[in-house]
Structure 1
Amino acid sequence: MRSLTLSRSFLLRLSLLGIAALFLVAIAISSMSLRTARMDLTADRVYTLTPGTQKIVDGLHKPLTLTLYFSEHATRDLPQLRSYEQRVHEMLREIAVRAHGRIRFRVIDPVPYSDDEDAAESYGLSPATGGSNGERVFFGLVGMGGTGDVPPQAIPFFDPAREAFVEYDIVKLLYELGMPTKPRLGVISTLPVEGNLVIGEPAWTVLRQLDQLADVTTIDPDGLTHIDDAVKVLLLIHPKHLSDDALYAIDQYVLRGGHLVVFVDPDAEMDNSPLVDSHGVVDDHDSDLRRLFEAWGVEYDPTKVVLDRSAALSIELNGSSLAHPAMLGVGPQDLNHEDVVTASLQRVNFSTAGFFELAPDTKARLVPLVQTSDEAEVVSAQRVRDAASDPSTLLDNYAPTHERYVLAARLRDTFHSAFPEREEKGHLSQAAAPGEVVLVGDTDLLSDRLWIDVQPLLGQQQLTPFANNGDFVANIVDNLGGSTALLSIRGRVNSQRPFTKVRALQAAADRKFLVKKRELENELYETQRRLAELQPAKNSPAAATATVEQRREVEQYLQRKLAIGKELRDVQHQLNAEIDALGLRLKFINIVLVPGIVALIGLIYGWRRTRRSRRVV
Structure 2
Amino acid sequence: RLDLTADRVYSLDLSTRALLYRLEKPLLAKVYFTKGLQAPYNNHEQVLIDKLEDFRAYSKGLMDIEVADPTGLKELTEEAQRFGIEPIQYRYRSSQVTELKKVYMGVALVYGDRQEVLPAVTATDTLEYELARAVKRLVSEEGPRTVGWTLGNGEPNLLTGGGPLERIRNSLTEEYNLQGVDPNSIDGIPEEVDALFVVGPQRPFSPRAQYEVDQFLMRGGALAMFVTNTKPDMRTMQPQSVVHNLEAMMGKYGVQVNRDIVVDRARNGQMNLPVRQGRYMVRMPVNYPLIPRVDVTATEHPTVRGLDTMLFPFVSSVELAQPLPGDLEATILARSTEASGRIRGIRTIDPQAYKIVAPGEERGAWPVLVALDGTFESAFANRSIPTRTDGSADDGAGRIRESAPTRLVAAGSADFVANNVSFVLNLVDWLVQDETLVSIRAKQVRMPQLDKIEPSDARIAKAANLLTGPLLLFLFGLARWASRRRGAGVSETSSVSEEVGQ
Smaller-chain TM-score bracket: 0.5 to 0.7
Structure 1 residue aligned with 2:154: 191
How many angstroms does 1:211 deviate by?
6.4
After TM superposition, the structure 1 = structure 2 runs for residues 32-431 of structure 1, keeping only pairs within 5 Å, are 50=14, 54=18, 58=22, 65-68=28-31, 85=48, 88-93=51-56, 96-97=59-60, 105-108=64-67, 110=69, 119=80, 123=85, 141-144=107-110, 146-147=112-113, 152-154=116-118, 156-157=120-121, 159-162=123-126, 166=128, 168-177=129-138, 183-189=145-151, 190-191=153-154, 193=156, 204-205=161-162, 213=173, 215-222=177-184, 227-239=189-201, 241-242=204-205, 246-254=209-217, 256-269=219-232, 284-287=241-244, 289-291=246-248, 293-294=250-251, 296-308=253-265, 310-316=268-274, 319=281, 321=283, 323=286, 325=288, 328=291, 351-356=313-318, 358=320, 361=323, 363-368=329-334, 376-380=340-344, 382-383=345-346, 386-387=347-348, 390-397=350-357, 409=369, 411=371, 413-419=373-379, 421=381, 427=400, 429=402, 431=404
Comparing 256-265 with 118-127, greater Cα deviation is found at 118-127
Q: Partners in 2 of 1:139 and 1:338 — Cα distance?
A: 35
AA aligned opposite 2:342: V
Q: 1:262: how far off?
A: 2.0
Relative to structure 1, the CA distance from residue 78 to residue 243 in structure 2 (aligned partners, 3 Å threshold; closer, same or farther) is: closer
What is the alpha-carbon root mean square deviation over aligned residues? 6.0
Other structure's SS at 1:268 match = strand
Aligned partners of 2:260 and 2:317 also within 8 Å: no
TM-score by length of 2: 0.57
Alignment of 1:479-518 (within 5 A): 479=429, 484=434, 486=436, 489=439, 515=460
Specify the code of the residue in structure 1 equivalent to 2:355. Answer: L
> Relative to 1, partners in 2 of residues 1:125 and 1:334: Cα closer, same or farther, differing over 3 Å?
farther
User: Which digits, 9 at most, give the CA deviation of each residue in 1:89-126, with x for residues without a partner?
Assistant: 244225643xx86xx54242548666668948962687
Instruction: Give me the whole-angstrom Cα distance separating, in 2, the residues matched to 1:237 and 1:330.
Output: 20
- Larger RCO (alpha carbons 8 Å, 6+ apart): 2
Question: Are the structure 2 counterparts of residues 203 and 88 from structure 1 closer, same or farther at C-alpha, using a change threshold of 3 Å?
Answer: closer
Give 3-state SS (helix, strand or coil) of 2:52's partner. helix
AA of the residue aligned to 1:367: L
Deviation at 1:471? 4.7
Q: What is the correspondence of 1:537-576 to structure 2 with a 5 Å cutoff?
A: 571-574=468-471
Could you say if the C-alpha distance between residues 570 and 114 of structure 1 is closer, same or farther in structure 2, counting changes exceeding 3 Å? same
Distance 1:85 1:188, change over 3 A: closer
Could you say which residue in structure 2 is the equivalent of 1:593? none
Q: SS state of the match for residue 143, structure 1?
A: strand
Structure possessing the higher radius of gyration over alpha carbons: 1
Q: Contact 2:261–2:316 (CA<8 Å) still a contact in 1?
A: yes
Q: How far has the Cα of 1:311 moved from its partner?
A: 2.0
Cα distance in 1 for partners of 2:419, 2:41 equals 33
In structure 2, relative to structure 1, the CA distance for the partners of 1:238 and 1:312 (3 Å cut) is same
The amino acid of 1:186's aligned partner reads: G
Q: Distance in 2 between matches of 1:329 and 1:113?
A: 54
Equivalent residues of 1:184, 1:215 under 8 A apart: yes
Match of 2:230, SS? Answer: coil
CA shift in 2, pair 1:67/1:312, >3 Å: same
- Offset at 1:301? 1.0
Point out where structure 2 has 5 or more consecutive residues left out of the alignment: 1-5, 383-395, 445-455, 477-502
The SS at the match of 1:231 is coil
Q: CA deviation at 1:249?
A: 4.0
What letter corresponds to residue 170 of structure 1 in structure 2?
Answer: L
Whether the 8 Å contact between 2:183 and 2:189 is mirrored in structure 1 is no
Is the 8 Å Cα contact of residues 354 and 442 (structure 1) preserved in structure 2?
Answer: yes
Q: What is the CA-CA distance between 1:315 and the residue it aligns to? A: 1.1
Q: Distance in 2 between matches of 1:154 and 1:574?
A: 52
Pair 416,263 (structure 1): closer, same or farther in 2 beyond 3 Å: same
Higher helix share: 1
Distance 1:402 1:249 in 2: 38
Contact 1:412-1:437 at 8 Å conserved across structures: yes
The answer as to whether partners of 1:140 and 1:155 remain within 8 angstroms in 2 is yes
User: Distance between the aligned counterparts of 1:317 and 1:512, measured in 2?
Assistant: 36
Note if contact 1:313-1:327 (Cα within 8 Å) is conserved in structure 2. no
CA spacing shift, 1:52–1:516, aligned 2, 3 Å: closer
Instruction: Specify which structure has the higher proportion of strand.
Output: 2
Percent identity, aligned pairs only?
Answer: 14
Contact 1:304 1:354 survives alignment (8 Å): yes
Does the 8 A contact of 2:15 with 2:437 survive in 1?
A: no
**Is the contact made by 2:222 and 2:432 (CA closer than 8 Å) also made in structure 1?**
no
CA–CA distance in 2 between the matches of 1:339 and 1:132?
50
Give matches, 1:424-503, under 5 Å: 427=400, 429=402, 431-432=404-405, 435-444=406-415, 469=419, 471=421, 475=425, 479=429, 484=434, 486=436, 489=439
| TM-aligned CA deviation for residue 230 of structure 1 | 0.9
Aligned AA for 2:330?
A
Equivalent residue letter for 2:314: T
Contact 1:315 1:324 survives alignment (8 Å): no
Q: Which runs of 5+ in 1 are unaligned?
A: 1-42, 196-201, 276-282, 447-467, 495-510, 521-567, 581-617
Number of residue pairs matched? 416
